[in-house]
Amino acid sequence: MKTLLLCGLGVLLGLPTLGQIVPADSSLLAAARSLRQHYTQALGDESSLYNGAEYVNYVRPSTVGSQFFNSEEPQAALITYGGISYAKVLARYDLVRDQL
């Protein structure tokens, strides 16, 4: 009797059950889609340029001079990356680390 009861319980647990079906477009997916759309609109055609690590200034306050080429302020530059040219991109070139 006990074996029959356990077998019946095992069969019942193995059957598919009815439940709520999660819609394909849940609120989390909609939020992610909206965020991606805002990101692409904000960056426009330059979105492939912004895909690296953030630049962290390593210079100590007591250092004389600047590690950047020509100026501390970002300068408009023509950058070619991945075969695509981007005009008037604000950039600073670090002479010491050879980084843009």
Q: How many domains does the chain have?
A: 1
Domain membership flag for residue 44: no
Q: What is the pTM of this model?
A: 0.46
Domain membership flag for residue 63: no
Q: What is the pLDDT of residue 18?
A: 67
Q: What is the pLDDT of residue 46?
A: 67
Domain membership flag for residue 3: no
Domain membership flag for residue 28: no
Q: What is the pLDDT of residue 22?
A: 63
Q: What is the pLDDT of residue 14?
A: 66
- Contacts made by residues 68-75, CB under 8 angstroms, sequence distance 24+: 68/92, 68/93, 68/94, 68/95, 69/93, 69/94, 69/95
Q: What is the pLDDT of residue 4?
A: 73
Enter the DSSP assignment of 64: -
**Domain of 80, in residue numbers:** 73-100
Domain membership flag for residue 86: yes
Domain membership flag for residue 100: yes
Q: What is the pLDDT of residue 82?
A: 78
Digit-by-digit pLDDT tens for the chain (100 residues) are 777 777 666 666 666 666 667 666 677 788 888 888 887 777 776 667 777 777 777 777 877 777 788 888 888 988 888 788 888 888 888 888 888 8
Helix, strand, coil % over all residues of the chain, rounded to 5? 35, 20, 45
Domain membership flag for residue 29: no
Domain membership flag for residue 4: no
